Structure 1
Amino acid sequence: MTKTVRTLLAFFLITTLNYSYAADKLRFIGDVTFPTGEMFAKTEIGGLSGIAYDKNKKRMLAVSDDKSLVNETRFYEFDISLTEKSFSVKPAVVVRLKNKAGNFFKKGEADFEGIALYGNDVLISSEGAINRTKPTPPELYRFNRMGDFVGMISIPEKFLLPRKEHTDKLYGSRDNHSFEALSTSLDGKTTYMGSEEALFQDGPITTISYSSHTRIILYKDLKPTTEIAYQLDKVEAIKAAVGTEKSEEKADLTTGENGLVDIAAINDKTFYTMERSWIPFINKNVIRIFKCTITDKTTDISKMESLKDQSFVAVEKELVADLDDFIPQMTIKELDNIEGIAFGPLLANGNRSLVVVSDNNFGKTQRTLFMAFELISSK
């Protein structure tokens, strides 16, 4: 194959779903970037995978998914200033996390992805490490604000390490696709925790032709009470012209992935989700935010060990925003690996703010990106 044949003459994205658009809208306020390698309190700022806002301290908490490979496992507290016209974040505190024995976590012991406030404590979810000689399961930890271990929160068995039962079919969470999403409702009464992708027993992961169902657990008083099904978007299909000078042949270039990466909860019925797609062919992140509603028709799937061949109703979902639409207003004209979402402070006009953050993977070509929006709600 000649170089001309290999050359991609054009590409475009084809949206494969017909969206239901929410009445809620986002208005871009501003963005802040921390380049990879920036240090604070003898730690490298990076790997920020989940965020939560502390309205009493007026600080944004951000957990790093550093598996004690760069520095100790930790979360940061950022001072945040956010108005209808301006946005700034500055690191204020770093909190190093300790395990049950009172020691810092060993390398690879935990993969912290989500963070939520619970009273004066913090909840932090770990994806675990499944594909290891000594695997660790997905977990939900409770720490105090000093980073000391308080306890473990119960997780339904179906989410734990993959296992085989009676057949060769696997049951449990997929490696690197479990508890990314974590949020406590604004009234503090309900905690949501969601898997990034489908459990083995629930079906295959999302592709360009298949949209999987992942599960979200609802907790009351830190006890799991309900599970709901959440349907992910399909991965975007990419087509490219790859012909010679004599040919206009088009080829499908369809690798990529999509997953539920975080939740921002209003109450026990309404919450916002963020899905992150990665399309390696064009080195692109696709980030979309949805408004979700639990209705009387939404099925509690907690008793369903598998969703295959089952009848159920997933949570209602409406598109609020595709963050691509805000790139022209950003200081750096490119999205990054955005994984965290949370409500920020109330704005002077009474509207809520919404903040997102990217995980730079400690990569030299990536950066830590905060973006702030005004949420213009229909209600």
Structure 2
Amino acid sequence: MIRVLHSVSNMDRAGIETMLMNYYRHMDREKVQFDFLCNKTKPGAYDEEIKKMGGRIYHTPGLNPAKYPQYLKYMKQLFEEHKEYRIVEAHNGALGVYALHAAKVNKIPVRIFHAHGASITKDWKLPIKLVCKSMLPANMNHHFSCGIAAARCYFGDKVVDNNDYELIPNAIEVERFIFNEKVRTAMRKKYGFENKHIIGHVGRFMTQKNHAFLIDVFEEVSKKDSQAMLVLLGDGELQEEIRKKVNEKGLSDKVYFAGNVGNANEWYNAFDVFMLPSVWEGLPVVGVEAQANDLPCIFSESVTKEIGLSKKAEFLSLQETPLVWAQCVLDKLKESNRKDNTQLITDNNYNISYEAIKLQERYLELYEEQK
């Protein structure tokens, strides 16, 4: 058995972490085991499941530049105590260079950078991220990416044009997300949504996900459709700010904050339209899930076109007004028939039952190559 050490923020329910868990659950764990290098001390929603499957969770001193000597010391000790690690895979965006550099210094032969984002968040950490990004090529020796846009962002045009990277799809457990009329009826009855037209969104409350614009769009929808409701799944640092905006617009009785739930698959059945007006994305797993459920989807043009698997998927510019977006939502609400999309998802290489086997074999190959 080989062990792959994944550098993450923490193992909470979010896009990258959920993708990793999808693959982890479908690995032959007698051949490949996942361990997680968490850079936040906060416990994650997946921690107990990881431990039950035989995975280990480590907590570093964090990705603060001032603590980098501590980080390096921690990693040196970790690799000395656990000489079985030959593969390190970083999922932290540009800051993934921390784990990769520590792995290189400690002579870990397989150092994978896994690109998930098609842009770098422009916050106060931007200068640090840009320096870290410039250091990535010298510290990684394998390129993984969820999609072409993310690969171009982190690896550059030359790597992409030469096809010098490996595409790892954000695959899902398809059967969990196929539309189920009974689940739809039960969910809508449970929450009192029987006669409502539900616009759904799944995503962390952060600048990237563009919740403020989503509320502006929904305000226009609600003016024309008295039965419209907006359901928001997720939590995050901007949640209170968005709640305040909802209250100020007098939409409190029409917007439901579901929180960070473990049954997003059931919620998709209750939705009528799925919206993702993100400022940027790599290749969002929620978009795959929503299309597996055969939901009409509206994505911003900032989301990579690779996510457009279904004929019900539409892309709109964020330069368009909320009114234009609202009209698109109202049109999509008329597309009420839903079908089994298993074949669509499988044909596009997003069925985890098949993709996990491919990734498992790739890890085994990489391990054998470095011997």
TM-score, with normalisation over the residues of structure 1? 0.26
More helix by share: 2
More strand by share: 1
By relative contact order (CA 8 Å, sep 6+), the higher-ranking structure is 1
